[in-house]
């Protein structure tokens, strides 16, 4: 009888495999660090202190300074109305407030710009990215509100706290991790956003890097700007960790399964809440969908070959499936190590894979272009390189889902199979994988849907002659062929819709456990 592997006795082969995955995901960060050293301090300083960099930094900082609190306020307020008040149609509003995630930000920007040029510039950029990203705060806050034990609020009310004091002193601190986590996601998306801001003619680091790359092909200026953008991403990560602190909000036991008491808004309050929710949904969802429908019907450039749309959709689906399979395979050893063999080395492997997701797609693409041109020229502008970029960007989506499923799969089943003489690979194939199959499927689906709407890395890395829905949409939109762009936008929205369902379903399941 063979002894089974216990936690702490990490299989060298599995650790090596996870380490290789971590090294691949660290390529962009290593590239930026090495290039910053090679370019030299004087040249780097000269490139950084240019007035143009100051303008880009000011634009980026101003956008973050306004959009983060706006998303936090709108997302938290909407979540409170849906989960803590008696506003009519709560279930419908719950779906509609998450639905803006179905429309990628660059499609939202296209929808508004195609209707009026007045949205170009800073005010329009603030409005449109806020409407695109507030659900990133809304969804985690909804999950947090559903998870709060109603007894805490009832105890506060029994001690003489009024509704507002209870909200500020009891409920708000419980929401702090969710709000900060959502704001971090918004901030990282803002740093990475290219399409919407380019369409709105509001320059930031991401748009400048793309323009620099297009004009000088990987010049020093583009790489130095990439380094500044990476530094901004790391500052956001550190700031969120510092603000979150180490306060624990967990409770012992699940408590009594009952809903919290909902506040009565009164006639005027209900009318105001409904007006606010209707306005938010119309701006965030109604305008982009209505604009797409308008251009489909009236656009003078709508007439085009439907076979091109079909072939582009098939190409996108092929890349999505291949990228999802590769990313999921890379995520499996990482998730396995982080759950079954928890330790310093495995923790380092797991956390390393999250760095690529925190970096803008244009930095990942720029790093892979430079590495392949200098060291692996045959890989430049090939499908495998594009799939690697997708894996670096989206591996956390698969890792998180697989890890959650592994945490629910009892290790005792693995141990029993090993004790009966089964080899590790056989145990994985016959025992563990069937148990975690739903989580693997959800992770792969989320990666697939992220790839379908990915724009920046695909623009820089796609092989010549390879088009996706996003790149074909972008080429038409840049040519002001709005009618021709609309069908590609519609297909992307249709393919993105399941991601919202998976995301909201995951939140419901987490709260119910």
Q: Is the pLDDT assigned to residue 259 strictly greater than 80?
A: no
Q: What pLDDT does residue 397 have?
A: 83
Per-residue confidence at 163, pLDDT binned at 50, 70, 90?
A: low
Residues 348-359 pLDDT 10s: 888 888 888 777
The answer as to whether 499 is a domain residue is yes
**Among 109-113, 314-318, 417-421, the least confident range:** 417-421
Instruction: Name the residue among 121, 87, 269, 259 with its Cα closest to residue 196.
Output: 121
Reduce the DSSP state of residue 381 to 3 states and report it: coil
Mean pLDDT throughout 179-201? 87
CA 432/CA 330 separation, integer angstroms:
17
* Alpha helix stretches (DSSP H) within 376-421: 383-408, 411-419
Q: Is 341 in contact with 13 (CB distance < 8 Å)?
A: no
Reduce the DSSP state of residue 85 to 3 states and report it: strand
Q: Is 175 in contact with 76 (CB distance < 8 Å)?
A: yes
Could you tell me if 320 and 372 lie in one domain? yes
CATH number at residue 444: 1.10.3720.10
CA 505/CA 496 separation, integer angstroms:
15
Tally of domains within the chain: 2
Could you tell me if 285 and 318 lie in one domain? no
Could you tell me if 129 and 238 lie in one domain? yes
pLDDT greater at residue 273 or residue 221: 273
Could you tell me if 309 and 291 lie in one domain? no
Instruction: Name the residue among 398, 403, 402, 399 with its Cα closest to residue 444.
Output: 398
Could you tell me if 167 and 218 lie in one domain? yes
**End-to-end CA gap in the chain:** 37
Could you tell me if 393 and 478 lie in one domain? yes
**Of the ranges 68-77, 204-213, 392-401, 490-499, which is most confident?**
68-77
Could you tell me if 387 and 371 lie in one domain? yes
Domain of residue 230, residue span: 50-247+267-298
DSSP state of 263: B
Mean pLDDT throughout 468-484? 87
Q: What pLDDT does residue 424 have?
A: 61
Q: What pLDDT does residue 433 have?
A: 74
- With tokens 């020229």, the residue in question is 377
The answer as to whether 189 is a domain residue is yes
Reduce the DSSP state of residue 206 to 3 states and report it: helix
Mean pLDDT throughout 449-476? 89
- Final residue of a domain: which of 278, 298, 318? 298
Could you tell me if 226 and 135 lie in one domain? yes
Instruction: Name the residue among 73, 75, 128, 135 with its Cα closest to residue 105.
Output: 128
DSSP state of 463: P
Record the tokens describing residue 302, joined without a space: 């709508």
Record the tokens describing residue 33, joined without a space: 């660090």
Q: What count of other Cβ atoms lies within 10 Å of the Cβ of residue 431?
A: 17
CA 191/CA 204 separation, integer angstroms:
8
Residues 6+ apart with CB under 8 A from 370: 31, 35, 218, 223
Bridge partner residues of 263 (DSSP): 85
What helix, strand, coil percent values describe the chain, rounded to 5? 80, 0, 20
The answer as to whether 58 is a domain residue is yes
Sign of CA dihedral 21, 23, 27, 29: positive
Whole-number average pLDDT of the chain = 81
Q: What count of other Cβ atoms lies within 10 Å of the Cβ of residue 480?
A: 12
Q: Is the pLDDT assigned to residue 141 strictly greater than 70?
A: yes
Mean pLDDT throughout 406-430? 65
Could you tell me if 409 and 508 lie in one domain? yes
Range list of β-strands (E), 110-232: none
Residue 258 to residues 28, 241, 506: CA-CA distances in angstroms?
Answer: 47, 32, 20
Could you tell me if 64 and 169 lie in one domain? yes
Residues 6+ apart with CB under 8 A from 148: 171, 174, 260
Number of H helices, E strands in the chain: 26, 0
The answer as to whether 487 is a domain residue is yes
Residues 109-122 pLDDT 10s: 999 999 988 999 99
The answer as to whether 390 is a domain residue is yes
Could you tell me if 287 and 314 lie in one domain? no
**Among 166-180, 240-254, 446-460, the least confident range:** 240-254
The answer as to whether 34 is a domain residue is no
Reduce the DSSP state of residue 48 to 3 states and report it: helix
Residue 187 region by backbone torsions, left for phi larger than 0, else alpha for psi between -120 and 50, else beta: alpha
Instruction: Name the residue among 246, 269, 256 with its Cα closest to residue 163.
Output: 269
The answer as to whether 256 is a domain residue is no
Q: What pLDDT does residue 129 have?
A: 95
Sign of CA dihedral 450, 456, 462, 465: positive
The answer as to whether 107 is a domain residue is yes
Residues 6+ apart with CB under 8 A from 225: 47, 53, 56, 205, 208, 209, 212
Could you tell me if 472 and 341 lie in one domain? yes
Sign of CA dihedral 425, 431, 432, 433: positive
């Amino acid at each position: 009888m063979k002894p089974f592997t216990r936690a702490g006795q990490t299989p060298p082969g599995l650790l090596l495999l996870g380490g290789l995955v971590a090294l691949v995901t660290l390529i962009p960060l290593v590239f930026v660090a090495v290039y910053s050293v090679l370019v030299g301090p004087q040249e780097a300083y000269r490139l950084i202190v240019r007035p143009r960099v100051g303008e880009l930094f000011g634009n980026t900082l101003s956008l973050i300074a306004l959009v983060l609190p706006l998303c936090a306020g709108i997302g938290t307020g909407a979540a409170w109305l849906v989960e803590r008040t008696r506003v009519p149609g709560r279930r419908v509003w719950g779906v509609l407030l998450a639905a803006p995630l179905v429309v990628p930000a660059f499609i939202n920007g296209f929808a508004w710009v195609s209707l009026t040029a007045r949205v170009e510039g800073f005010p329009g950029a603030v409005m449109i990215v806020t409407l695109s990203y507030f659900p990133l705060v809304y969804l985690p806050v909804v999950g947090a509100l559903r998870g709060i034990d109603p007894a805490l609020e009832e105890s506060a009310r029994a001690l003489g706290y009024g509704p507002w004091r209870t909200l500020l002193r009891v409920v708000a601190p419980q929401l702090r991790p969710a709000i900060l986590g959502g704001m971090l996601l918004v901030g990282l998306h803002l740093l990475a956003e290219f399409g919407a801001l380019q369409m709105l003619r509001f320059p930031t680091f991401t748009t400048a890097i793309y323009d620099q790359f297009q004009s000088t092909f990987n010049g020093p200026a583009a790489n130095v700007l990439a380094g500044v953008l990476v530094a901004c991403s790391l500052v956001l990560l550190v700031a969120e960790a510092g603000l979150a602190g180490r306060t624990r909000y967990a409770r012992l036991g699940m408590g009594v399964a009952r809903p919290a008491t909902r506040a009565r808004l009164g006639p005027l309050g209900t009318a105001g809440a409904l007006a606010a929710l209707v306005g938010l949904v119309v701006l965030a969802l109604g305008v982009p969908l209505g604009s797409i429908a308008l251009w489909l019907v009236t656009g003078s450039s709508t007439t085009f070959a439907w076979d091109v749309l079909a072939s582009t959709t098939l190409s996108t689906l092929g890349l999505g499936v291949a990228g999802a399979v590769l990313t999921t395979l890379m995520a499996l050893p990482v998730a396995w190590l982080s759950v079954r063999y928890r330790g310093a080395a495995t923790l380092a492997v797991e956390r390393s894979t999250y760095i690529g997701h925190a970096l803008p797609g244009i930095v990942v693409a720029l790093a892979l272009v430079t590495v392949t041109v200098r060291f692996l020229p045959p890989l430049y502008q090939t499908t495998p390189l594009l799939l690697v970029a997708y894996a670096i960007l989206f591996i956390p989506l698969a890792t998180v889902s697989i890890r959650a499923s592994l945490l629910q799969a009892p290790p005792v089943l693995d141990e029993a199979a090993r004790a009966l003489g089964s080899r590790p690979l056989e145990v994985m194939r016959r025992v563990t994988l069937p148990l975690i199959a739903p989580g693997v499927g959800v992770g792969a689906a989320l990666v697939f849907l992220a790839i379908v709407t990915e724009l920046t890395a695909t623009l820089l890395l796609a092989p010549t002659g390879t088009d996706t829905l996003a790149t074909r949409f972008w080429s038409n939109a840049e040519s002001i062929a709005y009618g021709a762009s609309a069908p590609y936008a519609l297909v992307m929205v249709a393919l993105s819709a399941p991601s919202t369902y998976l995301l909201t379903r995951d939140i419901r399941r987490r709260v119910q456990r």
